[in-house]
């Protein structure tokens, strides 16, 4: 869904860095590290988003039961 354009952006950035660093292992490992960091950051963002949604749902249910 909305992670697909982000994945394409990361993949294009990764390909660009790999093309730039022919025969240079340091730049390749750096781009790989940034790719892994972006992957982890997207997972953290997704986890935070789901926690926020669950918190809102639970809080609304609690508030409704409190008013009843």
Structural domain count of the chain: 1
Q: Could you give the angle at which helices 3-20 and 25-67 cross, rounded to 10 degrees?
A: 170
- Is 53's pLDDT higher than 80? yes
Q: Which domain holds residue 20?
A: 3-67
- Reported as a single tens digit per residue, the pLDDT across 16-43 is 655 554 455 555 556 666 777 777 888 8
Residue 10 confidence class, pLDDT cut points 50, 70, 90:
low
């Amino acid at each position: 869904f909305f992670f697909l354009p982000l994945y394409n952006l990361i993949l294009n950035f990764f390909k660009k860095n790999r093309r730039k660093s022919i025969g240079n292992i340091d730049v390749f490992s750096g781009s790989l590290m940034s790719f892994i960091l972006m992957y982890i950051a997207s997972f953290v963002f997704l986890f935070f988003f789901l926690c926020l949604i669950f918190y809102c749902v639970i809080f609304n249910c609690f508030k409704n039961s409190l008013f009843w």
